[in-house]
Amino acid sequence: MSRKSFCGSADHAVSRRGFLTSMAALAGGAAFADMTALQVLGTPAVANDLRANQKRVIMLWLAGGASQLETFDPKPGVPTGGPFQSIQTSTPGIRISELMPRMARRLKDTCIIRSLNTRNADHGSAARIMMRGRMGEPSVDYPDLGAVMAREMGLEGSQVPDYVSFYTATEGRNMSPGSPGFLGARFGSMDLTTSMVPENIRRAGVSEQDHRERAELRNQLSGMFERGRSSSTLDSHNQAYRRVSGIMANEQLFDIEREPQRIRDRYGNTLFGRQALAARRLCEAGVPFIRVGRAWWDSHAQNFESHQEMVPELDHVMATLLDDLEERGLLRNTLVITIAEFGRTPNINSTLGRDHFASAWSTTLSGCGVRGGTVYGRSDAAGQRVAEGEIGAARLFATIYRALGISHTKNYYLGARPIPLTDPGTEPIREVLA
């Protein structure tokens, strides 16, 4: 499938051409078939080109709904504010929760959006909205952001997957699955749930020859099945299979044990930290979209203790990830989105919990294409309503696309029907964009 989906900027054109040229040159070498993507990246010309220009997204998905009041929109001193204080960030006048001291020190790459009103406080349907940027409709199966990124930023012939999703907790996993929608299985997510390494990836005990023979057998059976049949679904599945088959030679891509101990220590010994490190490795190898699902934030009771437990982990992992991406020269082309399906109520219930709340909550965008060290929008004093700059999922997604250099007005076609990336009339938030 030809992909002419870039925004048209010179950056993208050069990147894609440069990459394909380099790949072609490498493909001529006998050793290429055995090289992993990381080894490919070791080739200076390719690595430099990729690092310079390919846009990527790492989404930190705070499944279940983290509290904006205990993270990016604290309200100390009001009855709804909870027990935690706010602290000054590196940007004068902007304060976030005291539970996030590291992010407070490095807000320079991050824009906080405090004015989301997404009008849906049901886990499942809200998650679908926040993964797609729009409500669903019966006649159209919309792709999610990861699938769009795979479609727009995936590279022909790439040996790495285009969309990887980590989600280990069982709660909520089925509420927000990666979905390629009408784009087809080729752009679907590689879901890592029980392990940080794809379950069917080549392991010790499966030799190179076994691997090759399995592929040949599969091709043979598939060819027999396809004979006399023609289907876009078949094509899509075959493309996905070929991509996965290539990935199976890349076990080390997912293996964070190959990182120096110093780096692993830096991310911390939690599942979220380890998966964020794996995400950075994938990002570095050229995977356009990686989602790291951190579940489960649904603190209907003991909200403050849950957030005291989980927010420092988020703070540590997010700040470390941003530092690491920056030090590797990746942050300017990688957008880190920290988001959930909704936030949590300002009202504190009888079990010291906060409930589902979509009327005035927060998200952050960091890195690529974003004006860092800023806040957009404002909730009212009690955090009950948006007081300024109200946006929904559509404008957020238009902003995300724009930050990545993708035209938010671009159309896909479902048969003859044009399907714009965001709903018609949606505009990105200029103030958020660099």
Partner 1 sequence: MPDANPRNLRTVRQINRRDILFSVARVPNTARLLVASNDNKVHEIDAGRDNATQRDLADHGRYVTCVRLAGNTIISGGYDNRLIWWDLQNNRMIRTLENAHARQIRQLALSPDGTKIASVADDMLCKIWNVANGERLHELRGHQLRTPTNFGSMLYCCAFSNDGTKLATGDRVGHVVIWDVANGRQLSTIEVPSLYTWDGTQRIRSIGGIRSLAFSPDGTQLAVGGVGQIGNVDGLGGPSRVEIHNWSRRERVHQFQGQQQGIVNRLVWHPRNNWLCGVGGGSNGFIFFHNTQTRAMIHQMNLPMHTHDTVFTEDWTTLYHVGHQRIVVQEIRP
Q: Which residues bind partner 1 (CB under 8 A)?
A: 64, 76-77, 79, 83-85, 168-171, 268-271, 294-296, 298-302, 305-306, 308-310, 312-313, 348-353
User: Quick one: 271 or 419, whose CB is closer to partner 1?
Assistant: 271
Q: Which amino acid is at 179?
A: S
User: Quick one: 79 or 329, whose CB is closer to partner 1?
Assistant: 79
Q: What angle do CA 362, 368, 369 make, to 5 degrees?
A: 85
What gap in Å lies between CA 109 and CA 158, rounded to an integer? 29
Task: For the CB of residue 265, give the shortest distance to partner 1 in the complex, in Å.
Answer: 12
Give every CB contact of residue 27 below 8 A, 6+ residues apart in sequence: 157
Residues 165-192 as b/e (b if ≥16 CB within 10 A, e otherwise) read bbbbeeebbebbebbbbbbbbbbbbbbb
User: Quick one: 163 or 267, whose CB is closer to partner 1?
Assistant: 267
User: Quick one: 66 or 375, whose CB is closer to partner 1?
Assistant: 66
User: Quick one: 198 or 273, whose CB is closer to partner 1?
Assistant: 273
Residues 110, 434: contact at Cβ < 8 Å? no
- Positive or negative torsion for Cα 262, 322, 317, 146: negative
User: Quick one: 76 or 177, whose CB is closer to partner 1?
Assistant: 76
Task: For the CB of residue 260, give the shortest distance to partner 1 in the complex, in Å.
Answer: 20
User: Quick one: 308 or 384, whose CB is closer to partner 1?
Assistant: 308
What gap in Å lies between CA 49 and CA 12, rounded to an integer? 10
Environment class of residue 17 by beta-carbon count within 10 Å: exposed (0-12), middle (13-18) or buried (19+)? exposed
Three-state DSSP at 284 gives helix
C-alpha to C-alpha distances, 190 to 40, 178, 314, nearest whole angstrom? 21, 8, 23
User: Quick one: 295 or 322, whose CB is closer to partner 1?
Assistant: 295
User: Quick one: 55 or 75, whose CB is closer to partner 1?
Assistant: 75
User: Residue 423, Cβ neighbours under 10 Å: how many?
Assistant: 16
What gap in Å lies between CA 140 and CA 134, rounded to an integer? 11
Phi first, then psi, for residue 189 (nearest 5°) are: -90, 145
Task: For the CB of residue 297, give the shortest distance to partner 1 in the complex, in Å.
Answer: 8
Task: For the CB of residue 126, give the shortest distance to partner 1 in the complex, in Å.
Answer: 16
DSSP H helix total and E strand total for the chain: 12, 16
Residues 99, 312: contact at Cβ < 8 Å? yes
Environment class of residue 73 by beta-carbon count within 10 Å: exposed (0-12), middle (13-18) or buried (19+)? buried
